[in-house]
Amino acid sequence: VQTCALPISDEVGYITIFVYGIGGFTTAEQKTDLLVDVSGKSVAGLEIGINDARLIELDVFATVGYSSQYESSVVLSNIKSILGSYFSPATYRFSDTIKLSEFYAAISSVPGVVYVTELSVVPQDLTIAQNDGSGNIDFFHKGSLPNVSSSGMTITLTSVNTQ
Is the pLDDT at 122 greater than 70? The verdict is yes
Element (H, E) at 36: helix 28-39
CA 83 from centroid of its chain's CA atoms = 11
The pLDDT of 43-72, averaged and rounded, is 92
Asked if residue 155 lies in contact with residue 145, where contact means CB atoms within 8 angstroms, the answer is no
* pLDDT value at residue 22: 82
Is the pLDDT at 5 greater than 70? The verdict is no
The pLDDT of 1-25, averaged and rounded, is 71
Is the pLDDT at 161 greater than 60? The verdict is yes
Is the pLDDT at 21 greater than 90? The verdict is no
pLDDT category of residue 10 using cuts at 50, 70 and 90: low
* pLDDT tens, position by position, 129-157: 999 999 999 999 999 999 999 999 999 99
Is the pLDDT at 11 greater than 70? The verdict is no
Distance CA 1, CA 139 (A): 50
**CA atoms within a 13 Å half-sphere pointing along the CA-CB vector of 17:** 19
- Average confidence score pLDDT of the chain: 90
> Can you give the pTM of this predicted structure?
0.82
The pLDDT of 73-86, averaged and rounded, is 97
Asked if residue 150 lies in contact with residue 84, where contact means CB atoms within 8 angstroms, the answer is yes
Task: Estimate the share of the chain in helix, then strand, then coil, as percent rounded to the nearest 5.
Answer: 25, 35, 40
Element (H, E) at 98: strand 97-98
